[in-house]
Chain A
């Protein structure tokens, strides 16, 4: 029950300016294995929702092929595709009860009434919606509506489950809870799932693999670990979480990694890298703020020196900005501040990192 997108391109023309074309999706190739949970992640307008709507059949690709479980489905309308979508707005039918909403797909397949009733009851139990069969949709809370939308999609046992930013209308706490819930249910039924979101922590929580998109192009495909720790390029590094870029020169590369000489003169050997790196060429080294260690200046000499220019206390962590005098401030995060102590605003500090947590970009 996998999904395969081959060279998918979608060009929209602006109705006001027909000569102006927008490449919503640009030559996308994506494969989703049977039972896999894949997320399309990117800023708004990156083409993720368009790609999802091309899979569901609501948009036709300008070029390219859509394959679902080994069949080319370009010419199949959405109602004949083996996909079920959970909509951003839930799209619950306002004139039908909760039970009628959930049973809608089975009713269309003209299954016997008794069977529909049983199936609906069964799924409602799994989804923790008991006793709500006869409720009107407008009597439901946001979280319940979300569950109804999910139940309505799952009850049809679709080959592919599609999620279009399903949690964006929920408050923060409920969102965290529903993420885990969605993952649990997907695992229970083993349904191949494709999920669209702009929220990276949501993507990290639910996905087996993440497809990062920007301006219609796929920037990187990989596991949450790969996307975060081994970004393929500047965009991914910058879009997922926060990051420091340090400029340097590749001195020597071998099997164990790349020796990088930084602008300040320090040399480190970093194992992980992306792209074609040439000896003697310029490189960017990415270091996540939590990988930077901060020291009071007098304690030791480090990789960079600077002054604390900003400090934000968030409870479990403190976020610092360090002014190094070279323009962009360096970000650092310290954990467990009660035990580890604070750095004062204006205090001179040094920072360093372990090469294991750094990554070299060409």
Chain B
């Protein structure tokens, strides 16, 4: 008598009803529970470990604010905090500005070499983020090609804010470009035509119509750039120098140099707070303000909203930026073949031989780790996107929130979290392949989730309902209907997370060991010990491997889905 009335009472709660619905499909319930618990263990638990450690002087000690007091009372660490924030703001503004110029010029004018500019702007996205730093040292450092060989300047002060800012802008402006390109492309040119038609001058039209419509996009790009720059570890480690400390590097040095886990954790928290704040601003405020201006029939751009003079100014800026990027990559390529950079620039294969003989294991390790973690992260991302968009179950918002969180959490924080969380039983993973794999998988699922969610929002839910209606259970529906429809999103997510896995440094630098090492970590240590040639050779191999992988994934797509690949998305 009691049980039925209890059940009836529980029926009033939505989450209970959803749980009941989900439990009719045991596989679905199992998947949900499995994913939720992994998110807790591999994303929340490490973060919590960092928080707890930063409030304790040692394991078992009572909670205290003394570590934060210590950090704040240190003028050097205060400076690191200010520097990080300043660097983030400067890169956000400058990077978005350059990105906007590229996006606007490529979307709204008919300048020559558009395709070339587009590729140039994408290259920094598919290469290790610290290639810029390495190259800048080779160009402007002590034996720098420009400073020393060209102008005979000794000890040009490239270390510090100047060099770092240049490296950050070059590294991160492509993200702003990609974001803003999407935004500007989606502004219907008829709006500009209408404004011109109403008698506005070109400049007025830009100022009153085009620019206001892109403001949310610009704000979004700036926040993303702020987050990325704040979290960046490779560029500042090489270029910042001791006069210009930044948080990510200081947190790393506290832990690996001083073995001061509490202080390192406290610095990580200082790094985490502004990142998370910017992330929430971006996700819940700015992204809601995006305009939708294309409705109904697509309109072709007539490209008349820019005057010829403005066009050539834009072209010159693009050409200059493209020149700088090319210079950076040519320098790396040349450096990998030069005997002793700056002194003896004759060509040699010695650096590649060195990499092959001494460090080839790092190459294989990197490929193994990226090769395993990328598809796992890709599938997991698709499954989470599917569950979040299509299924109702208690914990759905928690699942989306947690899995997207690693976008906002700087790698340094995650890396520290992993060594804190998994260096003792019950989960003892430090030094293993597994810890690297888990770190990559849970760091790069957001990419897959985002593209998965985007594509699922386009797929009519009744397509999946039709499959269920015809007798398919949730597993069959997912594998026979949903996944094939998500293939393009899956592969573009795959490419992106592969690139990120190959080029990651900030988190994994805490997790590598003698048994499992990574190319990025090798590049860093070669650079630090002054073997620029070897670092350049590693970088070249890394970029070539990434390009080969992208080619491979693309040709699989064309081979497997070529005929219908394009038509898949239309309905």
Residues of A within 8 A of B (CB): 13, 56, 58, 60, 75, 77-80, 83-85, 87-89, 91-95, 104-105, 108-109, 136-138, 152-153, 156
**Which are the 7 A-B pairs with shortest beta-carbon distances?**
A94-B571, A105-B470, A91-B466, A91-B462, A87-B462, A91-B463, A108-B471
Given contacts A13-B14, A138-B567, A94 and B463 within 8 Å (CB-CB):
yes
Q: Which of B17-25, B68-76, B234-242 contacts A (4 or more CB under 8 A)?
A: B17-25
Q: Once the chains bind, are B472 and A108 in contact (CB under 8 Å)?
A: yes
Contact with A along B462-503 (1 / 0, CB 8 A): 110111111111001000010011000000000000000000
Contacts of B567 in A (CB 8 A): 94, 136, 138
Overall SS of chain B's interface: helix
Given the contacts A13-B14, A108-B476, A136 and B465 also touching, CB distance less than 8 Å: no
Residue pair B571, A137 in contact (C-beta under 8 Å): yes
Asked if B544 is an interface residue, CB under 8 A from chain A, the answer is no
**List of A residues within 8 angstroms of B467 by Cβ:** 93, 104
B372 interface hit (Cβ, 8 Å)? no
Q: What residues of B have a CB within 8 angstroms of the CB of A87 in the complex?
A: 462, 465-466
Please give me the residue from chain A that is nearest to B465 by CB atom.
A58
Q: Are A75 and B24 in contact (CB under 8 A)?
A: yes
Q: Indicate if B568 sits at the interface (CB-CB under 8 A).
A: yes
Complex contacts, A137 vs chain B, CB 8 Å: 571
Asked whether B116 is an interface residue with its Cβ less than 8 Å from the other chain, the reply is no
A77 and B24 contact, CB distance less than 8 A:
yes
Please name all residues of chain A whose beta carbon is closer than 8 Å to the beta carbon of B17 when the two chains form the complex.
Answer: 60
Q: Scan residues 1-56 of chain B and give those whose CB is less than 8 A from a CB of chain A.
A: 14, 17, 21, 24-25
Q: In whole angstroms, how far apart are the Cα atoms of A104 and B468 in the complex?
A: 11
Known pairs A75-B24, A77-B25; A95 contacts B568 (CB<8 A): yes
> Nearest Cβ in chain B — how far from A1, in angstroms?
17
Interchain nearest-CB distance for B204 vs A (Å) = 40
Additional 18 contacts, C-beta under 8 A, given A56-B469, A138-B570? A58-B465, A58-B469, A60-B21, A78-B465, A78-B468, A83-B469, A85-B466, A87-B465, A89-B462, A92-B463, A94-B567, A94-B569, A95-B568, A108-B470, A108-B471, A136-B564, A152-B470, A156-B471
Residue of A nearest to B18 (CB): A60
**Number of chain B residues close to chain A: CB under 8 A:** 27
Cα distance, A63 to B96, chains bound together (Å):
55
Who on chain B is nearest to A81 by CB? B469
Interface membership of chain B positions 136-150, coded 1 if the CB is closer than 8 angstroms to chain A and 0 otherwise: 000000000000000
**Closest chain A residue to B11, Cβ basis:** A62
CA distance A152 to B25 in the complex (A): 25
Which B residues fall within an 8 A CB radius of A? 14, 17, 21, 24-25, 460, 462-463, 465-473, 476, 481, 484-485, 564, 567-571
Bound: A103/B473 CA distance, A? 17
Contacts of A84 in B (CB 8 A): 469-470
B471 touching A91 by the CB < 8 A rule?
no
**Min distance, Cβ A183 to any Cβ of chain B, angstroms:** 22
Is A95 in contact with B466, judged by CB distance below 8 angstroms?
no
27 examples of A-B residue contacts, CB within 8 angstroms: A60-B17, A60-B21, A75-B24, A78-B465, A79-B471, A79-B472, A79-B473, A80-B471, A85-B466, A85-B469, A87-B462, A87-B465, A87-B466, A91-B460, A91-B463, A93-B463, A93-B467, A93-B481, A94-B571, A104-B467, A104-B470, A105-B470, A105-B471, A108-B476, A138-B567, A138-B570, A156-B470
**Chain A contacts for B14, CB-based, 8 A:** 13
Contact among B484, B485, B571 for A92, CB-based, below 8 A: B571
Residues of A within 8 A of B570 (CB): 94, 138
Rounded to whole Å, the gap between the CB of B485 and the closest CB of chain A is 6
Q: In the complex, which residues of chain A have a beta carbon less than 8 angstroms from the beta carbon of B470?
A: 79, 84, 104-105, 108, 152-153, 156
The answer for the CA separation of A47 and B502 in the assembled complex, in Å, is 53
Residues in B whose Cβ lies below 8 Å from that of A60: 17, 21
Rounded to whole Å, the gap between the CB of A19 and the closest CB of chain B is: 13
Q: In the complex, which residue of chain B has the Cβ closest to the Cβ of A149?
A: B466
By a CB distance below 8 angstroms, the chain B residues around A105 are 470-471
